[in-house]
Amino acid sequence: MANKTIDHAITATSLQSAASDPTHAGILSFMRRKYTKSLKGVDAVVWGIPFDAATSNRPGARFGPQAIRRASAIFDNDPQYPFERDLFADMATIDYGDCLLDYGNHAKTPATIEREAARILKSGAFLLTLGGDHFVTLPLLRAHAAVHGPLALVQFDAHQDTWADEKGRIDHGSFVGRAAREGLIDPASSIQLGIRTHAPDDCGIRILYGYDIEEMSAAEIADIVLRHVGDRPAYLTFDIDCLDPAYAPGTGTPVSGGPSSAKILSVIRKLGALVIRGADVVEVAPAYDHADITAIAASTIAMYMLGLHAEQLAERRG
């Protein structure tokens, strides 16, 4: 124990160092990464947005970032499965903490999120965001599109989120339609996976419904995504209700008939050829969870997203 430390999230002297906190103790940043607002020398940023005022059913996703961070403590600093590497050995990664929002003035929320996201992206770092309800993806897309242009949206979800709304509405069920109308995404190269509801408009986005996912292999699903998106810059957004409630009960709008966590993780693992410019995991509502099933799934999905970026970063650096 002589060389071990605890509370790595604040005691770390390097952004690439391994933590030695016991799984059951220590300050709970995402995967024990250092808590800091400094973006100097940072390759990847994990950021929380504790917002759930846009939910149409059960609230509680404001506690999602806390739950995902807590569940991520189970990841130690051995090579992470299935990437066979310490994700942070060559990828300086921080936990940027949470976005500060005024709970009594939701009209300011979109601009606050977009402004802070833009500050992070200006550093050149990859941004992985932990929600929060799915509305937060709209200002995130605005910030990313300002840097990269219109993005291919790769959306794992039970819902299309393309319902019509009026300007200024705060709604997690309409952000995709708004993003299409604002030119933040390219509908022709975007795809939604796991959809198990119907909305009036598909906005020209390709859909793989729940039954499609059930009948296809992970390799077949990933191949469709890769061919459809091609080499266009992509944004990955994962609504945890994409998973069947058996694997993710802790969410606001669960829908039966979804895929397992194992199958979807296998799909994500095969998306390494995507030009991923940003990502998020949203809609974790821990009050409805059981034994952290949902939080564990969400933290694993987030870890996979960082794993893909670590591989792409290593490839670029040779």
- pLDDT value for 135: 95
Residue 61 has a pLDDT of 96
pLDDT tens for the chain, residues 1 to 318:
557 789 999 999 899 988 989 889 999 999 999 999 999 999 999 999 999 988 989 999 999 999 999 999 999 777 899 999 999 999 999 999 999 999 999 999 999 999 999 999 999 999 999 999 999 999 999 999 999 999 999 999 999 989 888 777 888 878 999 999 999 999 999 999 999 999 989 999 999 999 999 999 999 999 999 999 999 999 999 999 999 999 999 999 999 999 999 999 999 999 999 999 999 999 999 999 999 999 999 999 999 999 999 999 999 987
pLDDT of residue 171: 80
What pLDDT does residue 1 have? 56
Which burial class, exposed, middle or buried, applies to 3 when counting CB atoms under 10 A from its CB (0-12, 13-18, 19+)? Answer: exposed
Give me 165's structure tokens.
Answer: 């709304």
Q: Which conformational region is residue 176 in: left (phi greater than 0), alpha (psi within -120 to 50 degrees), or beta?
A: alpha
Concatenate the DSSP letters of all residues of 107-162 into one string. Answer: GGHHHHHHHHHHHHHHTT-EEEEEESSGGGHHHHHHHHHHHH-SBEEEEE-SS---
Please give the C-alpha separations between residue 222 and each of 159, 171, 281, in angstroms, as whole numbers.
Answer: 19, 29, 18
**pLDDT at res. 159:** 97
pTM exceeds 0.85, yes or no: yes
pLDDT given at position 2: 58
Q: Do residues 189 and 230 lie in contact, with contact meaning Cβ atoms separated by under 8 Å?
A: yes
For residue 284, give the nearest of 234, 256, 247 by alpha carbon.
247
Domains and CATH numbers, the chain: 8-317 (3.40.800.10)
